[in-house]
A and B are shown apart, each in its own frame.
Chain A
Amino acid sequence: MKFSLQIAILFLALLTSLSACNGKRKTLVELGNEQQILHVGNGDEISSVDPHSTSGMPEYHVILSLYEGLVSKNTKTLAIEPGVAERWEISDDGLIYTFHLRDDAKWSNGDKVVANDFVQTWLRGLMPALANEYASSMFVVKNGQNIYEGKADPKDFGAVALDDRTLQVTLNAPTPYFLQLLDHHSAYPVHIPTIKKFGKIDERGTRWTRPENFVGNGAFVLGEWTPNKYLSVKKSPTYWNAKNVRLNEVRYYPIQKYTTEERMFRSGQLHATYYLPREKLAVYKNAHDPALRSYPNFATYFYRFNVTKKPLDDVRVRKALAYSIDRKRIVEFVTKFGQIPAYTLTPPDENGYVAKAKMPYDVALAKKLLAEAGFPNGVGFPRLTITFNSTDEHQHIAEAVQQMWKDNLGVDIALEATEWKVFLDKEKQLDYQIDRASWIGDYLDPNTFLEMFVTNNGNNRTGFSDPRYDALIAKAALESNQEIRFGYFQEAEKILMDAAPILPFYTYNWNRLITSSVKGWDDNIMDYYPFKNMYLEH
């Protein structure tokens, strides 16, 4: 018994000392507020800081601190604002853009940012060996695609440096969203001499992206980077607007588990989370916690129908399935994350496009369509399968859909949960019947969604093809008048909803927690939050 008593005393002593020594310690958030160091969750470990070899959102949020493009966006309105270019002119036909670069724009090593940096950077993005996933974003520039395909000489590229401070870009067609494309990370300038110092210009994964070698032109430079721990960026003294950058440092934490992230926030280890566990939304909402930020996202959750497989090759069957889903019930009782029911593919866009074509929720019509297709009350309907990558959310939605189809149409559907890469593999090979999908817009324009369903587009993955649809999207690409352009998109979207190769469910909603000490963090549909305008109050 004596031993047990000694152990118990030892434990008590340990616990008391723990409570004593930790009681008064300042949290990382409190310390951060004093030193202007922001601690934010960033979802996942990033693959690189090279804008030409990355594509994920976590990477984008870091890259946004390290580089600056010709233009940037207003965080409230998402309107285009000057970046490295202090002003620009657009020719009347919408084909020639002339950018005037600011004189005081500098790289973090002190070099001046000149017009040729952009030309060389964009040409780098078009080098096939680099395997830039966003190379096609420069195809709108004259000869961009030809250079990528080896059919034109880089000398003939549509982007030309007239002098150090003037960049002229000639487009293939008027592209009203061109300025939006320029604020995409693949159009940000990279420091070519630094890249060449550590390897070939078109080689990915060389050591120029390491903190000790990195050179950028953004408001921050790369600080410490310990994979899976955190990556920090520090205020760049050479940034042209450094005097208005108030944060000294931002630490991005790659936290994949949202419950861990929420706990870190609650215990003062994070100023802002990347996301919020689904089950916690109600808790914060009911408590009217001001830390909760909840706003729609430029993204849609939908199902794909494989139109090459029977009976989904029949538009009546697809429509019957799509019309019998009560989206309101799904977002209210299943997903419960503040999503907005979607009856069309494109989310309401802050640039002014709101789709008119809508899929109805009409069970009677759905039943009628199914009967016309030869399956009255679901009799004789084959057992189709919904394939999704295995997460709780997709599983719950699929179960609700399964039940609705059973109740409303009398059809039996099987569910198949697969691992992510297996899922992608099946989807690409059209080895599915119905599968779950989502799409996040790259830029604020309906084209980023509607282009997806053009015949043979790599993201179509349904087998859907309609020459009228393809023609409308192609016409919209050549049109500079926004009203006429949006008209084409409305027509195209109507064709898409009538053909129903997809079943939209909801527009995403982003939920995150931000402490009240963070100032200047605006909510917007693109989840665009550059840190250069923020500061911490204490």
Chain B
Amino acid sequence: MFIFFLKRILQSIPVLLIVSLVTFVMIRSAPGGPFDQDRNVPPTVIKNLNAHYHLDDPLWKQYLDYMFNLLQGDFGPSFKFQSHTVNDLISAGFPPTLELAFYATLFALVIGLTAGIIASLKPNSLQDYVPMSSAMLGICLPSFVLGPLLLLIFGIWLQWLPVAGWGQIPGDKILPSITLGASYAAYIARISRGGMLEVLSQDYIRTARAKGLSPFRIVFVHALRGGITPVISFLGPAIAGLLAGSFVVETIFQIPGLGRFYVQAAFNRDYTMIMGCTIFFAFLIVSFNLLADIILVWLNPRLRQHVSEGN
């Protein structure tokens, strides 16, 4: 088992290296540079800026220097936001993104699991159709539609919740979390319904029913553990997706998260910021996938056995 995890961790190192190299090559081959502006910047100024940020070194040297600094935890200076280093910006932008992803996941889990379980209890009835149709709607509605819609209703018409900001006005975290979590809630509802339906038809559930256990105990103690397995394997990449894909929601709700920095960096050709964000997000995605694998193996005795035999 230990060797399995060690192998998985070691596998992620070349993944990160390849990600960094491919990103480096791609951003350097994109037309335009970080200091290009609408107004002419005199060639001497560009030359001095390139010298200041070592952009006049050979590309291979720039990459090696960057990786060497990265190993020491230094992501370098931001070309665009000169008063801040990339480390500053990631540490300023990541907490709101993480918090947003956390609330969105919480919302997705609570709503998704509840809807999935309710639907699975009476398949092909109204109790199944209503939550599942809502889930379908949730999947179909992209966040750039749902967000402004919620804002219009709860922010502008009813004036119950703030329309933008993060941690500035009470309640300003509610709408973005719902907007980001909605489509994930919908997926979780459908996945957990499927999982639950499969488990509820198993022999051990029939045995539990025959023994006269309460429906609550059957559903939440015996069936849920098996029923949510597909949800867990979905959650790893989902959380990573929530973290890396929160840009739209961050823009709509004016949240100072890392997603916005990332996209701005790409438009600004802020090389170090693009590299920093990509490597940081790649690290997160790899880590969450790994974590999901670990939890899956821990939850599923069959997988656990398979892993041990494999070793």
Give the interface of A toward B (CB within 8 A): 1, 3-4, 7, 15, 18-19, 21-23, 25, 28, 45, 47-50, 53, 55, 128-133, 135-136, 203-205, 207, 209-210, 225-229, 253, 255-257, 259-260, 263-264, 266-267, 269, 419-422, 424-426, 428, 438, 457-459, 461
Bound Cα distance from A18 to B52, whole angstroms: 52
B42 lies within 8 A of chain A by Cβ: yes
Instruction: Identify which of residues 228-268 in chain B touch chain A, using a CB-to-CB cut-off of 8 Å.
Output: 251-254, 256-257, 260-261, 264, 267
Bound Cα distance from A49 to B82, whole angstroms: 9
Give the interface of B toward A (CB within 8 A): 30-33, 36-42, 44-46, 48-49, 51-52, 77, 80-84, 88-89, 92-93, 114, 117-118, 121, 127, 130-131, 148, 151, 154-156, 158-166, 168-171, 174, 251-254, 256-257, 260-261, 264, 267, 269
Check A428–B81 contact: CB distance below 8 A: no
For the A-B complex with A133-B42, A207-B83, A260-B164 known, give 7 more contacts whose Cβ atoms are closer than 8 Å. Answer: A18-B171, A45-B264, A269-B169, A421-B30, A421-B31, A421-B33, A421-B36
Task: Given A28-B169, A47-B81, A421-B33, answer yes or no on A131-B45 (Cβ-Cβ < 8 Å).
Answer: yes
Check B81–A45 contact: CB distance below 8 A: yes
Which residues of the partner chain A approach B154 to less than 8 Å between Cβ atoms?
18
Residue among A21, A228, A420, A421 with the highest chain B CB neighbour number at 10 A: A228
Taking the nearest CB of chain B, how far is it from the CB of A435, in angstroms? Answer: 12
Check A22–B159 contact: CB distance below 8 A: yes
Check B89–A227 contact: CB distance below 8 A: yes
Which residues of the partner chain B approach A135 to less than 8 Å between Cβ atoms?
42, 45
Which residues of the partner chain B approach A21 to less than 8 Å between Cβ atoms?
170-171
| Selected A-B contacts with CB under 8 Å, 26 pairs | A1-B127, A4-B127, A7-B118, A18-B174, A22-B161, A22-B170, A25-B169, A28-B168, A45-B264, A47-B82, A50-B82, A55-B37, A131-B48, A132-B45, A133-B37, A136-B42, A210-B83, A227-B256, A228-B260, A260-B164, A263-B151, A263-B163, A267-B156, A267-B159, A421-B33, A428-B40
Task: Given A55-B37, A264-B163, A269-B164, answer yes or no on A48-B52 (Cβ-Cβ < 8 Å).
Answer: no
Which residues of the partner chain B approach A55 to less than 8 Å between Cβ atoms?
37, 39
Which residues of the partner chain B approach A419 to less than 8 Å between Cβ atoms?
32, 267
Out of A18, A205, A425, name the residue touching B83 (CB < 8 Å).
A205
Taking the nearest CB of chain B, how far is it from the CB of A52, in angstroms? Answer: 11
Residue of A nearest to B83 (CB): A209
Which residues of the partner chain A approach B127 to less than 8 Å between Cβ atoms?
1, 4
Check B118–A3 contact: CB distance below 8 A: yes
Out of B30, B77, B121, B163, name the residue touching A269 (CB < 8 Å).
B163
Bound Cα distance from A129 to B89, whole angstroms: 25
Bound Cα distance from A18 to B159, whole angstroms: 10
Bound Cα distance from A264 to B156, whole angstroms: 9
Residue of B nearest to A15 (CB): B160
Which residues of the partner chain B approach A457 to less than 8 Å between Cβ atoms?
40
Which residues of the partner chain A approach B121 to less than 8 Å between Cβ atoms?
3
**Which 7 A-B residue pairings sit nearest by Cβ, starting from the closest?**
A421-B32, A458-B40, A228-B256, A229-B256, A205-B82, A131-B48, A48-B82
Check B254–A3 contact: CB distance below 8 A: no
Check A227–B84 contact: CB distance below 8 A: yes
Out of A131, A209, A227, name the residue touching B52 (CB < 8 Å).
A131
Bound Cα distance from A458 to B42, whole angstroms: 7
Bound Cα distance from A226 to B257, whole angstroms: 11
Which residues of the partner chain B approach A257 to less than 8 Å between Cβ atoms?
251-252, 254
Residue among B46, B121, B148, B163 with the highest chain A CB neighbour number at 10 A: B163
Bound Cα distance from A19 to B267, whole angstroms: 40
Check B162–A269 contact: CB distance below 8 A: yes
Check B31–A128 contact: CB distance below 8 A: no
Which residues of the partner chain B approach A45 to less than 8 Å between Cβ atoms?
81, 264
Bound Cα distance from A420 to B31, whole angstroms: 10
Which residues of the partner chain A approach B264 to less than 8 Å between Cβ atoms?
45
Taking the nearest CB of chain B, how far is it from the CB of A436, in angstroms? Answer: 11
Which residues of the partner chain B approach A260 to less than 8 Å between Cβ atoms?
163-164, 251-254
Which residues of the partner chain B approach A1 to less than 8 Å between Cβ atoms?
127
Task: Given A7-B114, A263-B163, A425-B36, answer yes or no on A25-B170 (Cβ-Cβ < 8 Å).
Answer: yes
Bound Cα distance from A255 to B161, whole angstroms: 19
Taking the nearest CB of chain A, how far is it from the CB of B84, in angstroms? Answer: 6
Out of B148, B158, B260, B269, name the residue touching A421 (CB < 8 Å).
B269
Task: Given A128-B48, A228-B260, answer yes or no on A133-B39 (Cβ-Cβ < 8 Å).
Answer: yes
Residue of A nearest to B81 (CB): A47
Residue of B nearest to A148 (CB): B44
Which residues of the partner chain B approach A23 to less than 8 Å between Cβ atoms?
160
Residue of A nearest to B219 (CB): A3
Which residues of the partner chain B approach A256 to less than 8 Å between Cβ atoms?
251
Check B92–A227 contact: CB distance below 8 A: yes
Taking the nearest CB of chain A, how far is it from the CB of B50, in angstroms? Answer: 9
Taking the nearest CB of chain A, how far is it from the CB of B12, in angstroms? Answer: 30
Which residues of the partner chain B approach A130 to less than 8 Å between Cβ atoms?
48
Which residues of the partner chain A approach B82 to less than 8 Å between Cβ atoms?
47-48, 50, 53, 204-205, 209
Taking the nearest CB of chain A, how far is it from the CB of B54, in angstroms? Answer: 13
Which residues of the partner chain A approach B151 to less than 8 Å between Cβ atoms?
263
Check B267–A420 contact: CB distance below 8 A: yes
Residue of B nearest to A270 (CB): B164
Check A133–B261 contact: CB distance below 8 A: no
Bound Cα distance from A4 to B169, whole angstroms: 32
Which residues of the partner chain A approach B52 to less than 8 Å between Cβ atoms?
129, 131, 203-204
Taking the nearest CB of chain A, how far is it from the CB of B186, in angstroms? Answer: 15
Taking the nearest CB of chain B, how far is it from the CB of A478, in angstroms? Answer: 23
Which residues of the partner chain A approach B44 to less than 8 Å between Cβ atoms?
128
